[in-house]
Copies of this chain bind each other. A is one copy, B any other.
Amino acid sequence: MKELLYGAAYYDEYMPYDRLEKDVAMMKKAGINTIRIAESTWSTCEPQEGVFDFSHVTRVMDAMEEAGINVIIGTPTYAVPTWMVKAYPDVLAETVKGRGIYGARQIMDITHPVYRYYAERVIRKLMEVSAHRKCVIGFQLDNETKYYGTAGKNVQLGFVKYLREKFNNDLNALNHEFGLDYWSNRINAWEDFPDVRGTINGSLGAEFEKYQRSLVEEFLGWQAEIVSEYKREDQFITHNLDFEWRGYSYGVQPDVDHFKCAKHLTLAGVDIYHPTQDTLTGAEIAFGGDLIRSLKNDNYLVLETEAQGYPGWTPYDGQLRLQAYSHLAAGALGVMYWHWHSIHNSFETYWRGLLSHDMEENAVYREACIIGNEFRKLSPVLSGFKKNNKVAIMVNNESLTALKWFGIEADAAGNNGIRYNDVVRWIYDALYKMNIECDIIYSESTDIEKYKAVILPAMYVADEKLLKCLKDYTMHGGTLIATFKTAFANENVKVYPDRQPHILNEVFGIYYQQFTFPKNVTLTGFESGAPEAEHFMELLMSEGAETVLAYQHSNWKKYAAVTRHAYGKGEAWYIGCMFEEKYLQQLFVRILGENGIHAAAPEQFPVIVREGINEKGENIRFYLNYAWEEQIIKVSEKFSTVLGTADEEHREVSLGSWDVCIIKIG
């Protein structure tokens, strides 16, 4: 796309009175050039079974086409109309809590033929009225699709058939791999397969969740095929991928394998929500962007992000603009808000849009006007902005799931403690604040050789193929960095019955037999300071590795905490416990620095520096100030100013509160 996208989700259906003309005028004033419509409006588009009414869709497309505003059409399938559930109550997913009750979105069984039948029909009807329209630039499949806990008899039957195939009909193999002999869970005939919702077997349970994730992949693929029948060459297919939700977009999405889903899309899409005000750091914007960009190694759409959001997020002056450029700095093609106007009823009344409930101009809208008009001017410079990162963080859903079943801090009292994404974010956030840019790749990725360093945060589940690949990677010169809880279990969440970390113990030059929760344990080996070991610690024993950090504790002092080992042409570092982020940064300075990986600029958080190459091959750099304090920054290279206040002669960039500056290096 030539133009940076700037826009919002727009719901003509939800308006308290006819606003279309006024909204278009306000959009134009704000430089908005794209809207997303139709997702979640099934009950309006098909008010009764087989009765279709796309008047809202058509009327909005008409208005936008006239105004020169792009439209993304969302298939309306993620919330089902009442008539369907009334006639076929079984379309609601049966979960571990039983059959659902109508009301919320995302509560149906996405595999159910009744749902599929109606979904296909409404998609086709919608495509018929929209696909040929000039204003329509692409399609979003469904929205934030998950499997919604679907685990009814039909789904479980599919799962058993899937297992039969996976294990070549060999129950002994299944029992052995999953360890079902334990507590008499052994299955001795396929027809004895128990209701999997009650299982206490982590291997079986994790496999079922993996199967449930595959339903999402199949569902999106199915929708993509339907849409493809209608779409023009120039129209994209995307999906609104999202993240583990902790009141905001936190980490790897537990219920969807983004890597697999992305194959069905021509363009990756995402929504990212995050705290603002004094807790705005940009970390979620960067994390989400780095992960989504890496899925297809390409630019991506920010289909949703907050304008005002919940009251606690009402942005300070400048923050909306800072956020917008942070998305671009990660490789986004633009920014779209959820949503244009604050709605006046129902669940998300306080998830406020650009316009407040009074639908007049307000502080946020006025800032959007600035952003939209800057975007227009900057499009020639910023379009096609690409990354060439040297560091990758490798993640996978299987480890996330397994560490839910076997919590890192799980104890005999049933507490589960920190989770997979806490480790992922521990690693990511340290790099982010040091301005070391990275890709976030899934373990199925096949091109890791291009990275100078690959980091494995708690890669608990790792099959032997992956482990051999990582071994080769290091052997051939890569820098491999792993934390505790890596390579502990195979793809069936069976703990490897030999030295941990499995296979990689040779690469890291260490092994361990014991681990514990640290109490009053500090780490020695830093030049100054000695952080506490936190959450979990492995008692590492060297088999050739150098002990970089050791534990200080009466009983654990004989064990290493962080080790380094030359392996082949490469180097392998093992981090056996968690500790304060600033010390992790110190460690990364050493590990990465010694392997020739440095930040683009010496600044650190709250000044965030992001870099990349635009379509013309120019080196573009963003300075983002995540603070009230103004900043004057020395730039070592010659540059020209793209946006913001800079003194090219004295090579200085000036950043106000929550401000941004973009320069072209050279």
Residues of A bordering B, CB below 8 Å: 11, 13-14, 16-17, 40-44, 47-48, 76, 79-83, 85-86, 100-105, 176, 178-189, 191-195, 197-203, 246-248, 273, 277-278, 308-314, 316-317, 342-351, 356-360, 362-364, 406, 409-414, 493-500, 511, 513-517, 519-520, 536, 539, 554-555, 628, 657
Contacts and interface: CB of A to CB of B under 8 A. Distances in A.
A554 B319 CA distance: 13
B76 A362 contact: no
List 8 A-B pairs, minimum CB-CB distance, nearest first: A179-B345, A247-B413, A101-B198, A103-B198, A43-B186, A79-B184, A47-B188, A102-B194
Contacts of A278: 519-520
A251 to B, nearest CB: 15
A311 B277 contact: no
B344 A495 contact: yes
Nearest to A351: B412
Given A312-B411, A346-B203, A515-B314, A181 B358 contact: no
A349 B183 CA distance: 12
Nearest to A516: B314
A500 B184 contact: no
Nearest to A45: B184
A617 B52 CA distance: 73
A178 B308 contact: no
Contact of A311 (B182, B203, B347, B516): B516
Copies of this chain, count? 3
8 contacts: A83-B189, A278-B519, A309-B412, A310-B410, A312-B516, A345-B494, A350-B406, A364-B514
Nearest to A105: B183
B345 A498 contact: no
A344 B489 CA distance: 8
Contacts of A657: 554
Contact of A248 (B81, B412, B517): B412
Nearest to A186: B43
A185 B44 CA distance: 9
A513 B182 CA distance: 55
Given A42-B184, A185-B346, A201-B347, A413 B82 contact: no
B519 A179 contact: no
Given A278-B519, A346-B200, A76 B184 contact: yes
A317 B409 CA distance: 22
Contacts of A520: 278
Contact of A513 (B105, B192, B363, B500): B363
Contacts of A406: 349-350
Contacts of A351: 412
Contacts of A44: 181, 184, 186
B83 A515 contact: no
Contacts of A309: 412
Given A345-B495, A356-B514, A181 B13 contact: yes
Contacts of A189: 48, 83
B198 A104 contact: yes
**Chain B CB within 10 Å, residue with most, of A86, A185, A277:** A185
A95 to B, nearest CB: 12
Contacts of A499: 358, 360
Nearest to A312: B517
Contact of A182 (B186, B343, B628): B343
Contact of A497 (B43, B358, B516): B358
A146 B495 CA distance: 31
A559 B189 CA distance: 71
A413 to B, nearest CB: 3
A73 to B, nearest CB: 16
Nearest to A410: B350
B43 A194 contact: no
A410 B350 CA distance: 8
Contacts of A246: 413
Contacts of A313: 412, 516
Given A179-B343, A185-B346, A358-B499, 17 more contacts: A14-B182, A40-B182, A43-B184, A81-B186, A83-B189, A103-B185, A182-B348, A247-B412, A273-B412, A311-B409, A311-B536, A313-B412, A314-B516, A350-B410, A357-B495, A358-B511, A360-B513
Contact of A344 (B11, B414, B494, B514): B494
Given A187-B82, A362-B514, A181 B43 contact: yes
A633 to B, nearest CB: 22
B14 A83 contact: no
